[in-house]
């Protein structure tokens, strides 16, 4: 499936990504409702990575425009106290949003959002928290399919029908999961296996690298450097990379030049797209990859 992914992501200011075919909004930074207009109504599920204001500053407007009975469903890290406070405030400020569902999520929880779609919450280390305390998540989207077990695949169709009638379809089948999309949220690069075998990876790359960037990244919540992200991608299996959350200190030319340089250095052959600071990017995957 070719996804229509739109987004805006500028460090400190606002981040959101909307995957139209899945009805999923990742994060809800400032301006998301005005950017999506009526399309925002298609976002039945909102997955918030953490409680930094640049990732939830547009949530109130998005919710008051789109709330109805049972939707949207807002998923957030369970131990971020900001969300219960926002829920309480919005229900007083905009009484018509009472139908919105607020769902705290814990590490490794799997949320069924459609018959064949599951979203899994993955702990990341952007916000320092003790084990068992959930403050910052990445999210992985899995598509599930029921498939005939390999030991039966070569049997004649009539024999398969006979076995199904005798033992039931479930006995001959298995569920196959494919990681169709992963959203990193804000996170340092650490465990490569979190992102391996993702068909599409949306990953932050706040800093381009250098001594000043390294110094800044040692303070406060942790982010990724572009060179670390590209190195990681060179060692795992993904099909498409979308980079965002760049600091506005960099020009568009600096960002593109560094992406091209690192893709060449690490022999990256997959398409690499980027969301430039201060720009809404619509239908990102229909654009021209930076490295091609």
- What pLDDT is recorded for position 220? 64
Residue 175 has pLDDT above 90, yes or no: no
DSSP secondary structure string, 193-229? GGTTTEEEEEEE--B--SHHHHHHHTSSS---BHHHH
Q: Is residue 55 domain-resident?
A: yes
Q: Is residue 291 domain-resident?
A: no
Can you tell me the mean pLDDT for 102-130? Answer: 96
Residue 253 has pLDDT above 60, yes or no: yes
CA angle 226, 231, 232 (to 5 degrees): 100
Can you tell me the mean pLDDT for 215-242? Answer: 87
Residue 233 has pLDDT above 60, yes or no: yes
Q: Is residue 190 domain-resident?
A: yes
Q: Is residue 79 domain-resident?
A: yes
Query: Average pLDDT over the chain, rounded to whole?
Result: 93
Cα torsion angle, 75, 13, 127, 190, sign: positive
Q: Is residue 65 domain-resident?
A: yes
**pLDDT band at residue 180 using 50, 70 and 90 as cut-offs:** very high
Residue 251 has pLDDT above 70, yes or no: yes
Domain extent at residue 254: 5-286
CA angle 258, 9, 254 (to 5 degrees): 20
**pLDDT band at residue 212 using 50, 70 and 90 as cut-offs:** low
**pLDDT band at residue 214 using 50, 70 and 90 as cut-offs:** low
Neighbours of 177 (CB within 10 A): 14
Residue 138 has pLDDT above 90, yes or no: yes
Residue 73 has pLDDT above 90, yes or no: yes
**Percent of the chain clearing pLDDT 90 (strictly above):** 84
Total structural domains within the chain:
1
- What pLDDT is recorded for position 167? 79
**pLDDT band at residue 38 using 50, 70 and 90 as cut-offs:** very high
- Domain CATH number, residue 241: 3.60.15.10
Q: Is residue 208 domain-resident?
A: yes
Neighbours of 166 (CB within 10 A): 9
DSSP secondary structure string, 59-71? HHHHHHHH-BTTB
**Most confident of the following: 80-84, 175-179, 212-216:** 80-84
94 vs 212, more confident: 94
Residue 23 has pLDDT above 80, yes or no: yes
pLDDT digits (tens, 9 = 90+) for 144-168: 988 778 887 787 888 778 877 877 7
Strand order in the sheet with 24-26: 5-10, 14-19, 24-26, 45-47, 73-77, 101-105
Q: Is residue 292 domain-resident?
A: no
Question: Can you tell me the distance from the alpha carbon of 210 to that of 208, in angstroms, rounded to the nearest whole number?
Answer: 7
Give the global pTM: 0.92
- What pLDDT is recorded for position 244? 98
Question: Can you tell me the distance from the alpha carbon of 31 to that of 113, in angstroms, rounded to the nearest whole number?
Answer: 25
Residue 25 has pLDDT above 90, yes or no: yes
**pLDDT band at residue 221 using 50, 70 and 90 as cut-offs:** confident
Calculate the alpha carbon distances from 200 to 90, 191, 195, 241 in Å: 34, 17, 9, 6
Residue 6, strand partner residues: 18
pLDDT digits (tens, 9 = 90+) for 186-204: 999 999 999 999 999 999 9
Question: Can you tell me the distance from the alpha carbon of 226 to that of 154, in angstroms, rounded to the nearest whole number?
Answer: 47
**pLDDT band at residue 2 using 50, 70 and 90 as cut-offs:** confident
Question: Can you tell me the distance from the alpha carbon of 98 to that of 94, in angstroms, rounded to the nearest whole number?
Answer: 8
Pairing of strands 137-148, 117-123: antiparallel
Rg of the chain (C-alpha set): 21
| Residue 239 structure tokens | 């099909």
**pLDDT band at residue 179 using 50, 70 and 90 as cut-offs:** very high
Q: Is residue 174 domain-resident?
A: yes
């Amino acid at each position: 499936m070719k996804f229509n992914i739109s987004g805006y992501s500028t460090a400190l200011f606002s981040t959101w990504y909307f995957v139209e075919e899945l009805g999923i909004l990742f994060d809800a930074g400032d301006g998301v409702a005005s950017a999506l207009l009526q399309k925002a109504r298609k976002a039945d599920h909102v997955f918030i990575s953490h409680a930094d204001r640049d990732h939830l500053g547009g949530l109130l407007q998005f919710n008051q425009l789109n709330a109805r009975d049972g939707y949207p469903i807002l998923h957030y890290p369970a131990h971020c106290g900001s969300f219960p406070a926002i829920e309480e405030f919005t229900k007083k400020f905009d009484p018509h949003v009472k139908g919105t569902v607020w769902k705290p999520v814990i590490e490794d929880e799997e949320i069924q959002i459609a018959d064949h779609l599951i979203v899994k919450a993955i702990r990341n280390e952007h916000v320092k928290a003790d084990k068992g305390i959930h403050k910052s998540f990445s999210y992985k989207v899995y598509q599930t399919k029921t498939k005939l077990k390999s030991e039966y695949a070569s049997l004649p169709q009539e024999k398969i029908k006979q076995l199904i009638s005798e033992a039931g379809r479930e006995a001959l089948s298995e569920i196959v999961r494919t990681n169709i999309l992963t959203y990193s949220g804000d996170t340092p690069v650490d465990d490569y296996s979190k992102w391996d075998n993702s068909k599409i990876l949306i990953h932050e790359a706040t800093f381009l690298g250098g001594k000043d960037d390294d110094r800044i990244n040692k303070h406060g919540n942790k982010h990724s450097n572009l060179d670390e992200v590209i190195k990681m991608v060179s060692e795992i299996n993904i099909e498409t990379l979308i980079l965002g959350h760049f600091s506005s200190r960099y020009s568009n030319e600096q960002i593109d030049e560094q992406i091209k340089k690192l893709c060449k250095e690490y022999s990256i052959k997959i398409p690499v797209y980027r969301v430039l600071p201060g720009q809404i990017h619509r239908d990102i995957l229909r654009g021209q990859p930076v490295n091609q």
